[in-house]
Amino acid sequence: MWQAVRDKDWKNFEAHLAPMFVGVTSRGVALDRAGWLAYWKESQIGAYTFGEVTVKPAGADMVVTYPLQLAEPGGTAPGPALRVVSVWQSVKSRWILISTSLTPVVQ
């Protein structure tokens, strides 16, 4: 999904979002599906790194958490670390994102 954002592959990115998707940005702004898509379309992402992925099954859903760092295009230093918590659901042999939140990691 992050590769789709970086590559501006909006058709692929949008295909991963549930119709009733809800996301919360690192500034605490809650967005619906259309708002989330617009938010990332306005963002400039060059590189991204993530790790320490934790996946916990919850019925038909998966709760996925991981740290994420995004860099601007051409940027050499990654941005501030974010903690991602997301809920994915299996629908018709594919996974769609139901909800996600981005929380700044406080050091």
Predicted local confidence at residue 18, as pLDDT: 96
Domain count, the chain: 1
Instruction: Read off the pLDDT of residues 38-72 as tens digits, 9 standing for 90 and up.
Output: 999 998 887 888 889 999 999 889 999 999 988 87
More confident residue, 88 or 3: 88
| CATH assignment of the domain containing 68 | 3.10.450.50
Instruction: Read off the pLDDT of residues 5-18 as tens digits, 9 standing for 90 and up.
Output: 889 999 999 999 99
> For residue 62, what are the domain limits?
2-104
Largest CA distance in the chain: 41
Phi, psi of 36 (to 5 degrees): -65, -45
- Kindly write down the DSSP assignment for every residue of 1-53, as one continuous string: -HHHHHTT-HHHHHHTEEEEEEEE-TTS-EEEHHHHHHHHHH---S-EEE---
Instruction: Read off the pLDDT of residues 85-107 as tens digits, 9 standing for 90 and up.
Output: 999 999 888 899 999 999 999 87
